[in-house]
Structure 1
Amino acid sequence: MTVRVRRMRSGSGRRSFDLRATAWFFVLLALVLCVLGFVVRTAAHTVERRPAWAVVLCLTGLAAASPLWRRRRSVPARAARRAAAALEVGARTAVAEWEDAGPAAPVAAPASPSVPAPASPVVDACGAGVPGGAGPSGGWAPASADAPGTAHGAYDFDRLDADAFEQAVAGLCARDGCLEVEVVGGAGDLGADVVAVVPDGRRLVVQCKRYDTGNRVGSQDLQRFGGTCYTVHEADVAVVVTTGDFTAPAAEYADHCGIVCVDRAALMAWRDGTGPAPWNAAP
């Protein structure tokens, strides 16, 4: 009996090196590169000499390639259209269900605990804040005879600090008929401590200097105030009030600039009603 014998291939599976095939491969590769170089060089010369033909050839190539590109894009385009249609159907379904359910009932906000409004402070005649209603003159109330900081119902400036002194000057302005009295002293006030509108409509700007009896306001203080009272604060009447006195150069500068200087004696007279208010003494 004859038995056919099939020879098995080597288990390595590797092909032996063929020098002839390798040489032909490199020869063909060199020919391809030469042809490509010749084509590129010819195309470059054609573009330089006849650019119109190059444009026509490019357009022709794009027109030939467009059907292939459209076929490649047809599958993703169909998938995108199907996804958009599914989203549209889902949105319509959600809107229909929401309309059938009706709008939800509004949820009432939790009631906040009622907090009584704080009483507006009324500044008494010596500058102390007192709870209560507004006074008869722009929120300022007259002082009682036994109020702290007063002497027999009048202002006792020697017992006030700088802030209370500004409040006291504002109280004097309100007492004598000024409107829109406001204490603006503090950091960045540019020299203005009290602003108001005098009874005849002029704008009053006051700088307060709470000094001891022996201290005097110098010319530098007047110069700083004079540089801002008219240009920055637009004062019609500029006043510097002090519990001390003014130096001679300061008084001379004030006369030159039209600033009213109210020293201790003039302040006491204004307080007691025996002297004019500063805006009445203005030049």
Structure 2
Amino acid sequence: MGISGTEVSKETADLILMDDNFATIVTGVEEGRLIFDNLKKLISYSLGDNCAELYCVWVFIILRVPLPLGTIAMLLIMLGTDVMPAISIAHETAEADIMKLKPRDPKTQTLVTSQLMSYTYGQTSVMEFIAGMFSYFSVFALNGWYPNTMVGIETNWDSKAINDLSDSYGQEWCYSSRQRLKITAQTASFVAIVIMQVVNVICCKTRRMSVFQKGMDNWNMNLGIVFEIALACFFIYTPRINHGLQFAGLPMTIWFLPVPFALLLFVYDEMRRWAIRKSQWTKGWAFQELYT
């Protein structure tokens, strides 16, 4: 006891109750579980777009297409648009069943588990990557460059000496026109990942409960989402700044290209958490393999 206990007992104790109230132990356990959950959510959110950006670089290396996402755009996602939503996860309140859970095994239930790696590297990031690539190739296709003509074209595309490169319709493109189109496609890929990260942070609100059960009462997250989209618009549509950051102004229709993938991610994650809740107390397959 921190108040009535002797100094000797305090020195030898493993746990000191500063208010001499045993109920404080329950509060401490709940707070510890909340911190652990929020750290897991933060790791899951942060790895989502990082892995998607990694896959974009792999496509560039393997297929030799023009770089799908510029280096500056990658940095602006990690150090710009992602910052406020990531911070807001720390303000997320505890899920309703957090005190009904059994004590976790510190040897197996660590912060980074194989389930978490599978979820981020093989599920959310893959969906974000596909959304980015769909927007990227769609911009090229809308301007006469079909995906089959893009494979292996990177060397010729970035060559200043070639000013008569033909697209799928036989139209010839000069170097400067090709670079403007590449920047536009990279901007579309950037927008796709931003949109997917908006849905990803909503999915990361809970580890077991449905988002509909939890609600959107975390106003730090709500404002973080608004900030993320507003900052992306600032980068893209502000004159001179977009030129310096190698962005191009996009028509609003391009912003809707990743929306179906964002909805797919949300529905998939709701189904995943539903399966976890169904097998949570029996430790079934879904709980063992899908619970991050």
TM-score grouping bracket, smaller chain normalisation: under 0.3
Bigger CA radius of gyration: 1
Q: Which structure features the higher share of strand residues?
A: 1
Question: Structure 1 length as normaliser, TM-score?
Answer: 0.21
Q: Which has the higher contact order (CA 8 A, sep 6+)?
A: 2
Q: Which structure features the higher share of helix residues?
A: 2
Question: Structure 2 length as normaliser, TM-score?
Answer: 0.21
